[in-house]
Amino acid sequence: MSTVLETEEHQALRAAVAALGKRYGRDYMTSVVRDGDHPRELWTEAAKLGYLGVNLPEEYGGGGGGMAELSIVLEELGAAGSPLLMMVVSPAICGTVIARFGTEAQKQQWLPGLADGSLTMAFGITEPDAGSNSHRITTTARKDGDNWLLTGRKVFVSGVDIADATLIVGRTEDARTGRLKPCLFIVPRDAPGFGRSQIDMELQAPEKQFELVLDDVLLPADALVGDEDAGLLQLFAGLNPERIMTAAFGIGMGRYALARAVDYAKTRQVWKEPIGSHQAIAHPLAQAHIELELARLMMQKAAGLYDAGDDIGAGEAANMAKYAAGEACVKAVDQAVHTLGGNGLTREYGLASLITAARVARIAPVSREMILNYVSHQSLGLPKSY
């Protein structure tokens, strides 16, 4: 892929992460999943090299960069076949929200660990009755003296088992209006009343998804991140990085699948020429390449706007980047599997399981349809149907 739009530092970062990814790659991830393990070695090494905390402030052990750099890291690890899904939540959402809105104590407690990989944080917003509609979430925090009591349910929250804490989106009651407003709480993994059960997913990935039950989880006053009255702003400050990082995840996976298919198409010969000489094979691969490049351009725009402090502009671009990357990823993986013929469905070639994995980029953290809704209403001013 062309890197003409990136600074020399970015290009160097891309090359260095690609080299790290190459040392691990898809075989490493496959064996981690087979053993029911987590990609600890890769996580630790990437952290030690400064890649996981590249977006976090330097004074807390981070690299002082932003989403432009962090998205490069995830994209390149994914392109090597070894994406780290927890990067989407731990440094990108949780690290960003704490760095921007956390108290000094929260920053000191969490940021150095998130940056050096010794601490991981999950992020829980989705609820059983409020999937795409996060205005409907009912997880509620009540005051109990100086403390908080948090009650509710969450679903599909990734990595809660390995995360030291989960950043939970709840609501508190506005003292003046009685209306519920969103608030973010840090809930330690072993907090009493914080239960989790693993959801049986058809995904071959080391990161597992959990249903969470919060039953009057007692939290100290300082479990609340930032300002009780600015929850929505803080939430969006975390959701834009999540979308940018999901785009990076999708582009990385799409690139990995495409590269495998291109290699195969160059050598597989069933007539006189390799199958890649047939346009029915070559053109869809070329299309996939174009669409991944376009998605990456939009991701770079979103990251650039976000890093420049334009949360509103970044919102539209991050949604568009996530949409474009999700679609490009699904198409690239589908075409890659098809290119390999029967081998596309074998365990040995390992592409078939990506068909399921690619769908994650289309549905999470915000589905294709919800992005189309957003663009119809916000960008085009069309009326709302729901």
Ligand X SMILES: Cc1cc2nc3c(=O)[nH]c(=O)nc-3n(C[C@H](O)[C@H](O)[C@H](O)COP(=O)(O)OP(=O)(O)OC[C@H]3O[C@@H](n4cnc5c(N)ncnc54)[C@H](O)[C@@H]3O)c2cc1C
Footprint of ligand X (CB under 6 A): 89, 123-126, 131-132, 156-158, 203, 209, 360, 363-367, 369-370, 373, 386
User: Least Å distance between CB 278 and ligand X?
Assistant: 35
Strand pairing class (209-219; 224-225): unpaired
**Residue nearer to ligand X on the CB measure, 86 or 292:** 86
Q: How far apart are CA 50 and CA 143, in angstroms?
A: 39
**Residue nearer to ligand X on the CB measure, 96 or 373:** 373
Residue 43, token pair as written in the block: 């996580």
User: Least Å distance between CB 370 and ligand X?
Assistant: 6
User: Least Å distance between CB 334 and ligand X?
Assistant: 18
Residue 283, token pair as written in the block: 């053109």
Question: Would you mind telling me the total number of residues written for the chain in this entry?
Answer: 386
Q: For the purposes of burial, counting CB atoms within 10 Å of the CB of 48, is it exposed (0-12), middle (13-18) or buried (19 or more)?
A: exposed
What residue type is assigned to position 156 of the chain?
F
**What is the DSSP code (8-state) at residue 347?**
T
How many CB atoms are closer than 10 A to CB 40? 12
User: Least Å distance between CB 101 and ligand X?
Assistant: 19
User: Least Å distance between CB 366 and ligand X?
Assistant: 6
**Residue nearer to ligand X on the CB measure, 209 or 319:** 209
| Strand partners of residue 67 | none
**Residue nearer to ligand X on the CB measure, 24 or 210:** 210
3-state SS assignment for residue 177: coil
Residue tagged 């403390």 (tokens): 147
User: Least Å distance between CB 267 and ligand X?
Assistant: 33
User: Least Å distance between CB 251 and ligand X?
Assistant: 17
3-state SS assignment for residue 343: helix
**Residue nearer to ligand X on the CB measure, 161 or 369:** 369
**Nearest residue relative to ligand X (C-beta):** 131
**Residue nearer to ligand X on the CB measure, 285 or 329:** 329
3-state SS assignment for residue 153: strand
User: Least Å distance between CB 120 and ligand X?
Assistant: 12
Residue 9, token pair as written in the block: 């530092």
**Residue nearer to ligand X on the CB measure, 89 or 257:** 89
- Alpha helices (runs of H) in the chain, residue ranges in sequence order: 8-34, 40-48, 67-79, 86-87, 96-101, 104-116, 231-267, 279-307, 311-339, 353-363, 368-374
Q: How far apart are CA 152 and CA 139, in angstroms?
A: 4
Q: How far apart are CA 173 and CA 122, in angstroms?
A: 24
Whether the CB-CB separation of 127 and 154 falls below 8 Å is answered with yes
**Residue nearer to ligand X on the CB measure, 149 or 370:** 370
User: Least Å distance between CB 139 and ligand X?
Assistant: 11
**Residue nearer to ligand X on the CB measure, 96 or 126:** 126
**Residue nearer to ligand X on the CB measure, 253 or 281:** 253
Q: Please, what is the angle between helix 40-48 and helix 104-116, to 10°? A: 110
Residue tagged 């709840």 (tokens): 170
Query: Phi, psi (5° rounding) for residue 127?
Result: -125, 160
